[in-house]
Structure 1
Amino acid sequence: MASERVHTYLQTHQYAEQILTFSESTATVEQAAKALNVIPARIAKTLAFYTSEGTAFLVVAAGDAKIDNAAFKVAFQVKAKMLSPDDVLTYTGHPVGGVCPFALATNIPVYLDISLQRFTTVFPACGTANSAIELTCEQLQQLSNAKNWVNVCKAWNSEVNQ
């Protein structure tokens, strides 16, 4: 089960006690922001894409960010095409709505978008559609084993900071 895998992984890094579990859904940015009582931009959404070889990679971005197709193609040399829900589960081990960059089922690369860097802390999911954890960007980078920071999003408000 995804939540157990994430809990075990975060426990090995002394973060398991910080996992937040909710009675309501946190599957969407809006639902997560409401449950956490934060602005939607602070939700760290994990997006899964196909590579040119047909495998996958993840981009974690701020909740108010949208993929910039031109910047994405320059950064990854592939058109942005999101994984199907079945492939999301296969590659990440997490269901849609609970996808996070931790305890992944396969060794797929994780990238973090700079849209997150304007916040002291952000809230990624923890493998279920009713969980999250509050992390600094540095903690997120370490725990996700992110390959790099990228600039592949648009429409996020650089003025918003919390």
Structure 2
Amino acid sequence: MPAASLSDPRVENVRAALKAAGLEDTVVVVPDSVATAATAAAVLGCEVAAIANSLIFECDGAPLLIVASGAGKVNVKLLALEQGLGKISRADHDFVLRYAGQPVGGVAPLGHPAPIRTFLDTDLAAHSRLWAGAGSHQAMLSLSYHELLAVTGATEAVVR
């Protein structure tokens, strides 16, 4: 995967989505991959729990975005039961690219080709600043829990 740059169209889509939402452009591009919560936290100097992983799943053939703390695994059975959803399954790389327009490990919570139904992990509210993918393996953005909730139109949920 080539390194992201300031002219990467996937990252620029995220920047445009931030601007359209009236938010500051907080995107940072780093030289090395930050495709996992642990590597992102190490590079950014924050807790793994403050990394907001944007995870695309498939639910009854449609994309479902779960923005979850990097500190633990998502329990899709619990989420489906609590939210009255159908079966949630892991999406493959092609599905993620088709609906998010961004690669697995670099998916942002915004900047997708079309809106995706989104659930936001309530554990993330414990952090004053969150870091989320920004469209590539080398780009991250920072925002507050409330900004993330507003910009995604997410439903708050317990995901583990």
Alignment TM-score > 0.5, same fold: yes
* Secondary structure, counterpart of 1:94 in structure 2: coil
Matched position secondary structure for 1:115: helix
* Pairing of 1:107-118 with structure 2 (within 5 A): 107-118=115-126
Which position in structure 1 is the counterpart of 2:24? 15
Partner in structure 2 of residue 121 of structure 1: 129
CA distance in 2, matches of 1:14, 1:121: 14
TM-superposed CA distance for 1:10, in Å, is: 1.5
Name the TM-score, length of structure 1 as normaliser: 0.86
Q: Which residue of 1 aligns with 2:66?
A: 59
Q: 1:58 to 1:76 in 2, by over 3 A?
A: farther
The alpha-carbon deviation at position 76 of structure 1 amounts to: 4.3
Q: CA deviation at 1:69?
A: 3.9
Q: When the two structures are aligned, how many residues end up with a matched partner? A: 150
Instruction: State the TM-score, normalized to the length of structure 2.
Output: 0.87
Secondary structure of the 1:149 match is: strand
Picking from 40, 44, 53, the partner of 1:45 is 53
Question: Aligned equivalents of 1:73 and 1:9: distance in 2?
Answer: 28
Q: How far 1:77 sits from its partner (Å)?
A: 2.4
RMSD of aligned residue pairs (Cα, Å): 1.4
Identity %: 27
Unaligned 5+ segments in structure 2 are 1-8
Give the aligned partner of residue 151 of structure 2: 143
Q: Distance in 1 between matches of 2:90 and 2:50?
A: 22
2:14 alignment partner, one of 6, 9, 18: 6
Secondary structure in 1 matching 2:53: strand
